[in-house]
């Protein structure tokens, strides 16, 4: 194997782009978003599609928001939801000489080594983002992989919360991140993700970080 398989640790397959990638820098995109976004309160979406758990059972969408109440230090801040794979890092089962991290992950009773490359400038990006926004990691990957990666990646505690596959909505073959279930006003939520399928319900809230290839990662952040 040369790359992580979506069915094993939850790294989502790359969907066909449903929206033209944005070539602007992140902060420029964020500024444009804040300038044109209308202020409106949108409640939690309890009518969203059903969830599919890791064990393939189906459960109803919980009425309780995915996030707890906003901490006092984050009052008034924009909530920025940030994806992990192919947005902040690239991971592979194939040994990489320049890997920043090597994460052991148990799959079907066997421990595999996962080689993780950080995206250029990701350290400064997370440090600065943590100062300016309420940052939330939201990945369709399983926590047994994404949690240890996040522990090593986020040295500054930029992520106030972490959400994994079980918090996604399974919709038409995709694990969708339903921002209306976070417990935050949608006019104060932005998602940064490489896959348009991840934000099918909220295109207007998205900053698309285009897929950069298997080993060559760009400096778009």
- Catalytic site residue from 74, 85, 123, 193: 85
- Catalytic site residue from 74, 83, 108, 178: 83
Among this protein's residues, is 85 annotated catalytic?
yes
Residues ≥6 apart with Cβ < 8 Å to 57: none
3-class DSSP assignment, residue 214? coil
Among this protein's residues, is 83 annotated catalytic?
yes
Contact 110, 215 (CB under 8 A): no
C-beta contacts of 35-39 below 8 A and 24+ residues apart: 37/187, 37/204, 38/187, 39/187
C-beta contacts of 92-95 below 8 A and 24+ residues apart: 92/2, 92/3, 92/4, 92/214, 93/1, 93/2, 93/3, 93/4, 94/1, 94/2, 94/3
Kindly report the length of the chain.
221
Residue 40's CB is within 10 A of a number of other CB atoms, namely 8
- In whole angstroms, give the CA distance from residue 20 to residue 42: 26
- In whole angstroms, give the CA distance from residue 72 to residue 25: 29
Nearest-CA neighbor of 174 among 192, 197, 193?
A: 197
Catalytic residues: 83, 85
């Amino acid at each position: 194997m040369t790359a992580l398989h979506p069915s094993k640790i939850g790294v989502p397959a790359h969907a066909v782009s449903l929206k033209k990638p944005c070539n602007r820098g992140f902060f420029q995109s964020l500024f444009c978003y804040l300038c044109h976004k209308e202020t409106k309160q949108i409640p939690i979406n309890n009518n969203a599609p059903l969830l599919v758990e890791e064990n393939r059972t189906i459960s109803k969408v919980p009425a309780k928001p995915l996030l707890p109440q906003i901490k006092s230090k984050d009052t008034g801040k924009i909530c920025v939801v940030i994806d992990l794979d192919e947005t902040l890092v690239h991971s592979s089962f194939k040994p990489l000489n320049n890997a920043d991290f090597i994460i052991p992950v148990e799959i079907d009773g066997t421990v595999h080594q996962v080689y993780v490359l950080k995206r250029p400038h990701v350290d400064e990006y997370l440090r600065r983002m943590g100062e300016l926004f309420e940052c939330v990691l939201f990945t369709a990957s399983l926590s047994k992989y994404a949690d240890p990666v996040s522990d090593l990646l986020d040295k500054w505690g930029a992520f106030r919360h972490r959400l994994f596959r079980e918090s996604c909505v399974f919709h038409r073959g995709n694990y969708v991140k339903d921002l209306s279930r976070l417990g935050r006003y949608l006019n104060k939520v932005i998602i940064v993700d490489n896959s348009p399928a991840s934000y099918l319900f909220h295109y207007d809230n998205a900053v698309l970080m285009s897929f950069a290839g298997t080993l060559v990662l760009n400096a778009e952040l």
